[in-house]
Amino acid sequence: MNGPEIHVEVAPALHLFVPPARRAGAAGLSTDGVSTLGHVIESLGVPLTEVGALVVDGREVPPSHIPASGERVEVRAVQRPQRVPGAPLRFLLDVHLGTLARRLRLLGVDTAYESTDIGDPALAARSAAEKRVMLSRDRGLLRRRELWAGAYIYSTRPEDQLQDVLDRFAPDLRPWTRCTACNGLLREATKDEVADQLEHGTQRTYDVFAQCTACGRAYWKGAHHDQLEAIVERALTQRP
Protein backbone atom coordinates (compact mmCIF):
# COMPACT_ATOMS: atom_id res chain seq x y z
CA MET A 1 0.00 0.00 0.00
CA ASN A 2 1.37 3.44 -0.94
CA GLY A 3 -1.45 5.72 0.18
CA PRO A 4 -1.94 7.69 3.40
CA GLU A 5 0.15 6.62 6.37
CA ILE A 6 -1.58 6.15 9.70
CA HIS A 7 -0.32 5.02 13.11
CA VAL A 8 -2.03 2.02 14.69
CA GLU A 9 -1.82 0.91 18.31
CA VAL A 10 -3.29 -2.50 19.14
CA ALA A 11 -4.53 -3.26 22.67
CA PRO A 12 -2.38 -5.76 24.61
CA ALA A 13 -5.26 -8.26 24.74
CA LEU A 14 -5.13 -8.44 20.93
CA HIS A 15 -1.36 -8.79 20.56
CA LEU A 16 -1.55 -12.50 19.71
CA PHE A 17 -3.17 -11.55 16.40
CA VAL A 18 -0.42 -9.21 15.19
CA PRO A 19 3.32 -9.55 14.46
CA PRO A 20 5.76 -8.72 17.31
CA ALA A 21 6.71 -5.44 15.62
CA ARG A 22 3.17 -4.13 16.21
CA ARG A 23 3.06 -4.92 19.92
CA ALA A 24 5.17 -2.00 21.17
CA GLY A 25 2.84 0.98 20.82
CA ALA A 26 1.70 2.90 17.77
CA ALA A 27 3.35 1.77 14.55
CA GLY A 28 3.19 3.33 11.11
CA LEU A 29 1.07 1.71 8.42
CA SER A 30 0.58 2.71 4.78
CA THR A 31 -2.97 2.36 3.44
CA ASP A 32 -4.38 2.48 -0.08
CA GLY A 33 -6.64 5.47 0.58
CA VAL A 34 -9.87 3.62 -0.26
CA SER A 35 -10.08 0.61 2.09
CA THR A 36 -12.14 0.94 5.25
CA LEU A 37 -10.48 0.98 8.64
CA GLY A 38 -12.18 -2.33 9.42
CA HIS A 39 -10.55 -3.90 6.37
CA VAL A 40 -7.17 -2.42 7.33
CA ILE A 41 -7.38 -3.81 10.86
CA GLU A 42 -8.40 -7.26 9.62
CA SER A 43 -5.48 -7.19 7.17
CA LEU A 44 -3.22 -6.93 10.23
CA GLY A 45 -4.73 -10.19 11.52
CA VAL A 46 -7.25 -8.89 14.07
CA PRO A 47 -10.82 -10.24 13.58
CA LEU A 48 -13.36 -7.45 14.03
CA THR A 49 -15.29 -9.75 16.38
CA GLU A 50 -12.47 -9.06 18.89
CA VAL A 51 -12.50 -5.29 18.49
CA GLY A 52 -14.46 -3.37 21.08
CA ALA A 53 -13.86 0.09 19.61
CA LEU A 54 -11.84 1.82 16.92
CA VAL A 55 -10.70 5.22 18.18
CA VAL A 56 -9.21 7.74 15.74
CA ASP A 57 -7.55 10.84 17.19
CA GLY A 58 -9.62 10.46 20.36
CA ARG A 59 -13.02 9.84 18.78
CA GLU A 60 -14.70 6.50 18.18
CA VAL A 61 -15.39 5.67 14.54
CA PRO A 62 -17.17 2.78 12.79
CA PRO A 63 -15.27 0.10 10.85
CA SER A 64 -16.50 1.79 7.65
CA HIS A 65 -14.30 4.85 8.35
CA ILE A 66 -11.77 5.59 5.59
CA PRO A 67 -8.39 6.41 7.20
CA ALA A 68 -6.75 9.75 6.38
CA SER A 69 -3.06 10.52 6.43
CA GLY A 70 -1.61 11.12 9.89
CA GLU A 71 -4.48 9.64 11.87
CA ARG A 72 -3.66 7.79 15.07
CA VAL A 73 -5.79 4.69 15.56
CA GLU A 74 -6.38 2.79 18.78
CA VAL A 75 -7.70 -0.74 18.39
CA ARG A 76 -9.38 -1.58 21.68
CA ALA A 77 -10.43 -5.00 22.90
CA VAL A 78 -14.03 -5.99 23.60
CA GLN A 79 -15.33 -4.83 26.96
CA ARG A 80 -16.49 -7.60 29.27
CA PRO A 81 -19.14 -8.69 29.86
CA GLN A 82 -20.01 -8.23 26.20
CA ARG A 83 -23.65 -7.59 25.42
CA VAL A 84 -25.06 -8.96 22.18
CA PRO A 85 -28.28 -7.07 21.37
CA GLY A 86 -31.01 -8.20 19.04
CA ALA A 87 -31.76 -11.76 20.13
CA PRO A 88 -31.56 -14.09 23.13
CA LEU A 89 -27.93 -15.05 23.80
CA ARG A 90 -27.15 -18.41 22.21
CA PHE A 91 -24.15 -19.93 20.51
CA LEU A 92 -23.00 -21.92 17.49
CA LEU A 93 -19.71 -23.87 17.71
CA ASP A 94 -17.64 -25.33 14.90
CA VAL A 95 -16.44 -28.92 14.59
CA HIS A 96 -13.31 -28.35 16.70
CA LEU A 97 -15.15 -27.30 19.89
CA GLY A 98 -17.18 -30.38 20.80
CA THR A 99 -16.06 -30.55 24.44
CA LEU A 100 -16.85 -26.87 24.97
CA ALA A 101 -20.28 -27.41 23.40
CA ARG A 102 -21.08 -30.25 25.80
CA ARG A 103 -19.96 -28.22 28.81
CA LEU A 104 -22.05 -25.21 27.83
CA ARG A 105 -25.06 -27.48 27.38
CA LEU A 106 -24.35 -29.04 30.78
CA LEU A 107 -24.73 -25.54 32.21
CA GLY A 108 -28.02 -25.03 30.39
CA VAL A 109 -26.67 -22.62 27.75
CA ASP A 110 -28.37 -22.85 24.33
CA THR A 111 -25.50 -24.21 22.22
CA ALA A 112 -25.69 -25.52 18.67
CA TYR A 113 -22.75 -27.58 17.43
CA GLU A 114 -21.72 -29.03 14.09
CA SER A 115 -20.03 -32.41 14.64
CA THR A 116 -18.94 -32.53 11.00
CA ASP A 117 -17.17 -29.90 8.94
CA ILE A 118 -19.94 -28.27 6.92
CA GLY A 119 -17.71 -25.43 5.73
CA ASP A 120 -17.37 -21.77 6.67
CA PRO A 121 -20.14 -20.44 4.36
CA ALA A 122 -22.71 -22.82 5.86
CA LEU A 123 -21.65 -22.03 9.43
CA ALA A 124 -21.84 -18.28 8.78
CA ALA A 125 -25.26 -18.69 7.16
CA ARG A 126 -26.56 -20.66 10.15
CA SER A 127 -25.21 -18.02 12.55
CA ALA A 128 -27.14 -15.37 10.64
CA ALA A 129 -30.34 -17.39 10.19
CA GLU A 130 -30.58 -18.44 13.85
CA LYS A 131 -28.96 -15.30 15.33
CA ARG A 132 -26.31 -17.29 17.16
CA VAL A 133 -22.88 -16.08 18.27
CA MET A 134 -20.29 -18.06 16.30
CA LEU A 135 -17.51 -19.39 18.54
CA SER A 136 -14.39 -20.55 16.73
CA ARG A 137 -10.59 -20.57 16.65
CA ASP A 138 -10.74 -20.06 12.87
CA ARG A 139 -9.96 -16.41 12.14
CA GLY A 140 -11.04 -16.78 8.53
CA LEU A 141 -14.49 -17.93 9.60
CA LEU A 142 -14.82 -15.00 12.01
CA ARG A 143 -14.05 -12.57 9.18
CA ARG A 144 -17.05 -13.66 7.10
CA ARG A 145 -19.49 -10.82 6.60
CA GLU A 146 -22.54 -13.14 6.81
CA LEU A 147 -21.95 -13.84 10.51
CA TRP A 148 -24.56 -12.43 12.86
CA ALA A 149 -21.98 -12.20 15.67
CA GLY A 150 -18.83 -14.07 16.61
CA ALA A 151 -16.02 -14.55 19.10
CA TYR A 152 -12.56 -16.06 18.98
CA ILE A 153 -11.79 -18.90 21.39
CA TYR A 154 -8.32 -18.09 22.73
CA SER A 155 -7.35 -21.32 24.50
CA THR A 156 -7.05 -24.93 23.38
CA ARG A 157 -7.97 -26.24 26.86
CA PRO A 158 -11.72 -26.89 27.35
CA GLU A 159 -11.72 -25.69 30.95
CA ASP A 160 -10.12 -22.37 29.97
CA GLN A 161 -12.39 -22.10 26.93
CA LEU A 162 -15.46 -22.44 29.12
CA GLN A 163 -14.27 -19.87 31.63
CA ASP A 164 -13.45 -17.43 28.83
CA VAL A 165 -16.93 -17.72 27.29
CA LEU A 166 -18.61 -17.32 30.68
CA ASP A 167 -16.44 -14.31 31.50
CA ARG A 168 -16.96 -12.65 28.12
CA PHE A 169 -20.71 -13.12 27.69
CA ALA A 170 -22.01 -13.85 31.23
CA PRO A 171 -24.84 -16.11 29.96
CA ASP A 172 -27.62 -17.21 32.29
CA LEU A 173 -26.80 -20.65 33.68
CA ARG A 174 -29.42 -23.35 34.25
CA PRO A 175 -27.41 -26.53 34.93
CA TRP A 176 -28.86 -29.93 34.11
CA THR A 177 -31.63 -28.57 31.86
CA ARG A 178 -30.24 -29.39 28.39
CA CYS A 179 -29.24 -32.55 26.57
CA THR A 180 -25.46 -32.61 26.16
CA ALA A 181 -25.88 -34.69 22.99
CA CYS A 182 -28.35 -32.57 20.99
CA ASN A 183 -29.06 -29.36 22.99
CA GLY A 184 -32.73 -30.27 23.56
CA LEU A 185 -34.47 -29.44 26.83
CA LEU A 186 -34.72 -32.08 29.55
CA ARG A 187 -37.80 -33.14 31.50
CA GLU A 188 -38.31 -35.44 34.46
CA ALA A 189 -39.01 -39.03 33.42
CA THR A 190 -40.10 -42.20 35.15
CA LYS A 191 -38.02 -45.36 35.08
CA ASP A 192 -40.64 -47.03 32.92
CA GLU A 193 -40.42 -44.27 30.31
CA VAL A 194 -36.69 -44.81 29.79
CA ALA A 195 -36.47 -48.53 30.62
CA ASP A 196 -35.46 -49.48 27.07
CA GLN A 197 -32.24 -47.42 27.46
CA LEU A 198 -31.18 -48.89 30.82
CA GLU A 199 -28.92 -51.81 31.67
CA HIS A 200 -30.20 -54.16 34.36
CA GLY A 201 -27.82 -52.76 36.97
CA THR A 202 -28.90 -49.22 36.25
CA GLN A 203 -32.57 -50.15 36.60
CA ARG A 204 -31.85 -51.71 39.95
CA THR A 205 -29.62 -48.89 41.29
CA TYR A 206 -31.23 -45.62 40.14
CA ASP A 207 -34.72 -44.19 40.50
CA VAL A 208 -34.44 -40.57 39.32
CA PHE A 209 -34.24 -39.91 35.58
CA ALA A 210 -34.54 -37.15 33.01
CA GLN A 211 -35.20 -37.42 29.29
CA CYS A 212 -34.46 -35.14 26.36
CA THR A 213 -37.63 -33.79 24.78
CA ALA A 214 -35.91 -33.69 21.39
CA CYS A 215 -33.88 -36.88 20.95
CA GLY A 216 -35.30 -38.98 23.81
CA ARG A 217 -31.95 -39.69 25.46
CA ALA A 218 -32.18 -40.70 29.13
CA TYR A 219 -30.08 -39.18 31.93
CA TRP A 220 -29.38 -40.24 35.52
CA LYS A 221 -26.72 -39.69 38.19
CA GLY A 222 -24.34 -42.34 36.94
CA ALA A 223 -20.63 -43.01 37.32
CA HIS A 224 -19.53 -39.67 35.82
CA HIS A 225 -21.94 -37.50 37.80
CA ASP A 226 -19.36 -36.30 40.35
CA GLN A 227 -17.01 -35.20 37.58
CA LEU A 228 -19.80 -33.31 35.82
CA GLU A 229 -20.98 -31.80 39.08
CA ALA A 230 -17.46 -30.47 39.67
CA ILE A 231 -17.55 -28.71 36.28
CA VAL A 232 -20.89 -27.14 37.18
CA GLU A 233 -19.69 -26.02 40.62
CA ARG A 234 -16.53 -24.42 39.23
CA ALA A 235 -18.56 -22.56 36.63
CA LEU A 236 -21.03 -21.25 39.19
CA THR A 237 -18.35 -20.12 41.65
CA GLN A 238 -15.98 -18.59 39.09
CA ARG A 239 -18.49 -16.74 36.94
CA PRO A 240 -18.40 -12.90 37.04
Specify the pTM: 0.93
pLDDT at 196 (0 to 100): 95
Contact present, 162 and 93 (Cβ < 8 Å): no
% of the chain at pLDDT higher than 90: 90
pLDDT band at 1 (very low <50, low <70, confident <90, very high): low
91-93 and 133-136 as β-strands: parallel, antiparallel, unpaired?
parallel
SS3 70: coil
Q: Give the CA radius of gyration of the chain.
A: 22
pLDDT at 240 (0 to 100): 65
**In CATH, what class is 5-77?**
alpha beta
Instruction: Please write the tens of the pLDDT for every residue from 163-218.
Output: 999 999 999 999 999 999 999 999 999 999 999 999 999 999 999 999 999 999 99
pLDDT at 123 (0 to 100): 96
Instruction: Please write the tens of the pLDDT for every residue from 22-53.
Output: 998 888 999 999 999 999 999 999 999 999 99
Domain locations along the chain: 5-77, 91-238
pLDDT at 116 over 80: yes
Mean pLDDT of 139-146: 95
Q: HSE-up of 27 (CA within 13 Å, CB side)?
A: 12
Mean pLDDT of 108-113: 98
Mean pLDDT of 124-153: 96
